Structure 1
Amino acid sequence: MSKQQREVTLRFLAEPGDVNFGGKVHGGAVMKWIDLAAYACSAGWSGKYCITAYAGGIRFVKPIHVGNLVEVTARVIYTGKTSMHIAIDVQACDPKELENQLTTHCIMVMVAVDEAGQPTEVPEWQPENAEDKALRESAIKLMNMRKEIGEEMEAHVKFIK
């Protein structure tokens, strides 16, 4: 790639090996696709190897069926010093009809790392329009909420020890 890439879409067919006992695509398979798209997007933006720091708010809206054409779109919506917040939308449809429906949505936080595995700086992303600004503000709000939840979870970790 010659320049930073803010968005990437992975496309493929849901296969029989992706199915759970209920006959629909397994949530774990969807989560793997989400992680792959988040990696491709964050590496494309930063030009560096990236690791998953957080996967949250995963909403399974509709099931995905075997044979569906699946599109996993990942887009940078906020950058920190070493992290990138990536919005993920998963859509699926019967390939004969091509009427995509949202099936899953979430936010991933990816961190760029150097050869020693230490966090390294990423290029800053700046919103270009009203939608981008709203997405950025949403990412900041979610980041603050995650901090509060993390502090609350610390009480549970201390209790378990």
Structure 2
Amino acid sequence: MNKPQRDITLRFLAEPQDVNFGGKVHGGAVMKWIDLAAYACSAGWSGRYCVTAYAGGIRFIAPIHVGSLVEVEAKVIYTGNSSMHIALEVNACDPKLLNRTLTTHCIVIMVAVDENGKSEKIPKWIPESPEDIKQNESAIKLMEMRKLIGEEMQIFVE
């Protein structure tokens, strides 16, 4: 296997079919782009087929307009035995001006699986830079918070 790829950026133009009734790109389209980038990033890191296990903390900050150049940046910030925490950031701009604006960010957890859907071991990511260490520590804190949120959410599934 080649050296794992920790990050990836998808770039494309927002198209008319991505628009909601308000004339802006709808959140569902943005979430799809996030999921695609998370898959590409996790597959590049693990060398395996990966599935989405969790998407959370999604924050829509600014609208995206049709014709905008959209960049979805994804990078591994934590690895478990088979899971990868992927930090994602969506930026958009007028392609003539290249005035990038942060529009959305979130965390997605992907899991590497085999052909039977069983989780597979992945390479360990070790943070090196101060920024990497901070993001890794944040991912660990978020795991603890998700456990508490999951416990609270049980009332909705019982």
TM-score (norm 2): 0.98
3-state SS, counterpart of residue 73 of structure 1: strand
The residue that corresponds to 1:40 in the other structure is 40
Give the 3-state SS of the residue equivalent to 2:117 in structure 1.
coil
Partner of 2:86: 86
| Superposed CA offset, 1:48-94 (max 9, x none) | 00000000000000000000000000000000111000000000000
Residue type at the aligned position of 1:31: M
Give the Cα–Cα distance (whole angstroms) in 1 for the partners of residues 155 and 30 of structure 2: 31
In structure 2, distance between residues paired with 1:2 and 1:29? 32
Q: Whole-Å Cα distance in 2 between the matches of residues 157 and 12 of structure 1? A: 38
Matching of residues 7-156 of structure 1 within 5 Å:
7-156=7-156
Q: Distance in 2 between matches of 1:67 and 1:154?
A: 41
Structure 2: how far apart are the matches of 1:55 and 1:156?
Answer: 18
Mapped partners of 2:40, 2:79: distance in 1: 16
Matched to 2:73, the amino acid is T
Structure 1 CA distance, aligned partners of 2:142 and 2:81? Answer: 17
Instruction: Give the distance between the partners of 2:127 and 2:3, measured in 1 at CA.
Output: 17
Task: State the distance in 1 between where 2:79 and 2:118 align.
Answer: 17
- Find the aligned partners of 2:77 and 2:46 in 1 and give their Cα distance: 13
Please, what TM-score do these two structures have when normalized by structure 1? 0.96
Gaps of 5+ in 1: none
Identity %: 73
Corresponding pairs, count: 158
Amino acid of the residue matched to residue 108 of structure 1? V
Could you tell me which amino acid in structure 2 is paired with residue 153 of structure 1?
M
> SS of the residue aligned with 1:121?
coil
